[in-house]
Amino acid sequence: MSLILETLAGFFSIQVVFALLVGVAVGIIGGGLPGISPSMTIALLLPISLYLPTTVAIALMMGAYQGAMFGGSVSAILINTPGTASAAATTLDGYKMALNGQAGKALLMALYASCTGGIIGTVILLAMAKPLSAVTLKFGPPEYFGLMLLSLALIAGISGRSLLKGVISASIGLLFATVGMDPIYGSKRFTFGNINLGDGIQTLSIFIGLFALAEVLSQLSKGKTELYQKPNTLTVNDKLSFAEYWSQKYNMVISGVMGALIGVLPGIGGSTACFVAYAEAQRRSKYPEKFGTGIIDGVAAPEAANNAVCGGALVPMLTLGIPGDVVTAILVGALIAHGIKPGPLLFIDDIGSVYKVYIALMLSVVALLIIGRLGIPVFSKIVKLRKAVLLPLIFIICVVGTYSTRANVFDTMMMVGFGALGFILNKNGFPIPPMVIAFVIGSQLETSLRQSLLLSNNSPVIFFTRPLSCVLIIGAVVFAAFMVRRNRKMAMKEVVVINDAGEEEVL
């Protein structure tokens, strides 16, 4: 106990506070700009951190980690461009809220949910790091497959009105996920001899094309008068009341816990966690049909989840020395450079350093709250721009963002192609989210399926003889059945109101 207090005391210096604030600010900027991933932001801070005292360096990194997670949502909400992969789910309701003149409210909800999620993630890390790391190791390929299947079933709920169109959209996403190198044999699939497709389609090209550029195109198609109109600046109810925040308490806690738990598993990533949290919030909700129209529930869920992922991802990193994603891989490097060796011995030999990480993560949530509150009024000015000015700006961000990740024009071209595809699909009532989610989950689903079959010598029995994977797969089937039923009910209601959607349902 005294060690905790001693460590905590080390944080109350001007340098540490400054490092936390700078880290969060840099994180928000890096996360907010598409094309600069959280890992790039932290990689940029790494050389600086090597010259700082350990506590200051950890504060800087943790601040940037939390900041980047929130920063991605700022651009997701304001311009429908997910700044980070984890923010993709936030576009679904966040951008709709901005369109409804509630950008400020959406940003505040995102900030508070991020902070709440950040605290949940830290608490879970603090309380359960050791037991959770044991659970992580229980997850082999069959369990990953079960989990991915369950996620896919849950997420089927986001398909909107027509389940059939949702399934078509998801199938296209799965097809895109097969592009690139075969995960087991290494042969090239659907690359058409193009070396740029060797690693598959870049997630960022898909995200930015389908969300941001498709939206730019659909705005453009509304005609000239709309573009030059002064934007609707009546900010009715653009504040977030405490009652509204409090109404999301269960949503945030459940989403946060889900985010942290998914974050614990190496290699799954924030975007899956957020989509799952969103889908689960919609499934639980008393008004699932309102999701996707711009409600705070749809912002709170993914935002709580993606900041909780931070705490979760640190579990295997600290306890096993296994970084779950690129960001934690860089953090491992930074810690080792400061003489802290993550791994099973860290909790025995050097518990003080573990506390440093915990405290830095907790304090970075406070720093995020401060910087976020200061920044939101500035960020939300963007929605006051005329479309004629804003849309070209978004287009530039789309182009530069997709180019900069791999310094490759090919990715920009793919983004433009996906923008056109998204526009066409949108026009014809095909929902975009299932496609994006299927793409994200697709490759992990395939890899774990085929790894399992390699292990079992091609016998599918392996999925059912292992209790955890059996439970997950049964869960997936139950959820899928539930989704189909609910969707049919919703469709029945819709038929009365909307004719053209009803016709599809008869199929």
Residue type, 322: I
* Tokens of residue 395, six digits: 């287009």
CB of 422 to other proteins, least distance (A): 23
Task: Give me the least distance between CB of 193 and other proteins, in Å please.
Answer: 7
Compute the Cα dihedral for 264, 266, 271, 273 and give only its sign.
negative
Min CB(143)–other proteins separation in Å: 9
Cβ-in-10-Å burial (0-12, 13-18, 19+) of 23 comes to buried
Q: Which amino acid is present at 249?
A: K
Contact in structure between 93 and 295 (CB atoms under 8 Å): yes
Which of 263, 260, 276 lies closest to 476, judged by CA?
A: 276
Residues 435, 172: contact at Cβ < 8 Å?
yes
Nearer to other proteins, 3 or 396 (CB): 396
| CB of residue 350 to other proteins, shortest distance in Å | 11
Distance CA 504, CA 187 (A): 39
How many C-beta atoms lie closer than 10 Å to residue 382's C-beta?
Answer: 17
> Are the CB atoms for 155 and 275 separated by under 8 Å?
yes
| Residue 133 tokens, joined | 């790391």
Helix (H) or strand (E) holding 189: strand 188-189
Q: How far is the CB of 458 from other proteins (least distance, A)?
A: 11
Distance of CA 201 to CAs 190, 336, 410, Å?
Answer: 10, 33, 10
- Closest to other proteins by CB, 292 or 343: 343
Sequence letter at residue 499: N
Report in angstroms how near the CB of residue 318 gets to other proteins at its nearest. Answer: 11
Tell me how far apart the 2 most distant CA atoms of the chain are, in Å.
68
What is the smallest separation between the CB atom of 37 and other proteins, expressed in angstroms? 8
CB 364 within 8 A of CB 23: yes
Distance CA 76, CA 480 (A): 29
Residue 316 CA to residue 474 CA, distance in Å, equals 27
C-beta of residue 383 within 8 angstroms of C-beta of residue 103? yes
Instruction: Give the nearer residue to other proteins in terms of CB position, either 370 or 393.
Output: 393
- CB-nearer residue toward other proteins: 245 or 395: 395
In whole angstroms, how close is the CB of 277 to other proteins at the nearest point? Answer: 22
Q: Which is nearer to other proteins, 70 or 423 (CB)?
A: 70
Question: In terms of CB distance, is 407 or 497 closer to other proteins?
Answer: 407
- Closer by beta carbon to other proteins, 125 or else 335: 335
DSSP string covering 138-152, please? H--HHHHHHHHHHHH
Shortest CB 214 distance to other proteins, Å:
21
Q: Quick one: 17 or 413, whose CB is closer to other proteins?
A: 413
Question: Which residue's CB is nearer to other proteins, number 292 or number 321?
Answer: 321
CB closer to other proteins out of 63 and 266 = 266
Specify the 3-state DSSP secondary structure of 265.
coil
Closer residue to other proteins (CB): 157 or 270:
270
Distance (Å) of CA 114 to CA 98, 117, 121, 272, 306: 18, 5, 10, 16, 7
Of 235 and 408, CB closest to other proteins: 408
Token match 């804003």: residue?
390
- The DSSP result for 366-382, as a single string, is HHHHHHHHHHHHHHGGG
Q: How far is the CB of 186 from other proteins (least distance, A)?
A: 3
Sign of CA dihedral 105, 110, 111, 115: positive
Distance in Å, CB of 398 to other proteins, minimum: 12
Name the one residue in this structure whose structure tokens are 């399992």: 452
Q: What is the closest distance, in whole angstroms, from the C-beta atom of residue 344 to other proteins in the complex? A: 4
Do residues 361 and 310 touch, judged by C-beta distance below 8 A? yes
Please, what is the minimum distance in Å from the beta carbon of residue 329 to other proteins?
8
> Of the two residues 30 and 160, which places its CB atom closer to other proteins in the complex?
30
Smallest Cα–Cα separation from 273: which of 242, 302, 234, 241? 302
